[in-house]
Amino acid sequence: MKTIDLPLDEKSIIDLRAGDWVLLNGIIYVARDSAHKKIVEALAKEEKLPFELKGATVYYMGPSPTRLNAVIGSAGPTTSGRMDKYAPELLRRGLKGMIGKGFRSMEVKKAIIEYRAVYFAALGGCGALIAERIKECEVIAFPELGPEAICKICVKNFPAVVVNDIYGGDAYENGIKKYTR
């Protein structure tokens, strides 16, 4: 298992390969469909973004209400494919990491290679355990979106697996090939 400090840069992802398990430490931004749409619209208008894209990692998280005396509620991943129409532009603008669950489109996989980024999977069904790795959570943009507002989270030893790497590796496809008869 590799430990990675965020934000990501070329040095931190060059040795990552599809299938590698990692522990992420640092700042991650939570953003889903509606927030992605607003970010891409802001980029088109050359408006200031709520966070620096260069080196950033975005988590496609399906949040739940925060329990009493907790930083956050259950924090499991949501389906990444819903962000595929926005991801290539964000990668082009400097985004280096994405975390979610499920397959990515061919367009996103090509952008991951071209812009030298990485797609991680968080374990679906483990939202309560993942929440324990989140040490701080703050809404930083679009509070009107409720659970789809952009949050800044600080994580310690956030577990994930590399699905798509800068070399075109795909852990999901590798798994299918390995177990297909």
Give the active site residues: 36
Helix (H, G, I), strand (E, B) or coil at 112: helix
H helices of 62-102, in order, are 87-92
Token output for 58:
């975005």
d(CA 98, CA 96): 7
Give, for 89, the enclosing helix (H) or strand (E).
helix 87-92
What is the C-alpha to C-alpha distance for residues 172 and 31, in angstroms, rounded to an integer?
A: 23
- Alpha carbon of residue 16 to chain centroid: 15
Phi, then psi, of 103 in degrees rounded to 5: -70, 155
Q: How far apart are the two ends of the chain, measured CA to CA in Å?
A: 29
SS3 sequence of 9-36: CHHHHCCCCCCCEEEEEEEEEECCHHHH
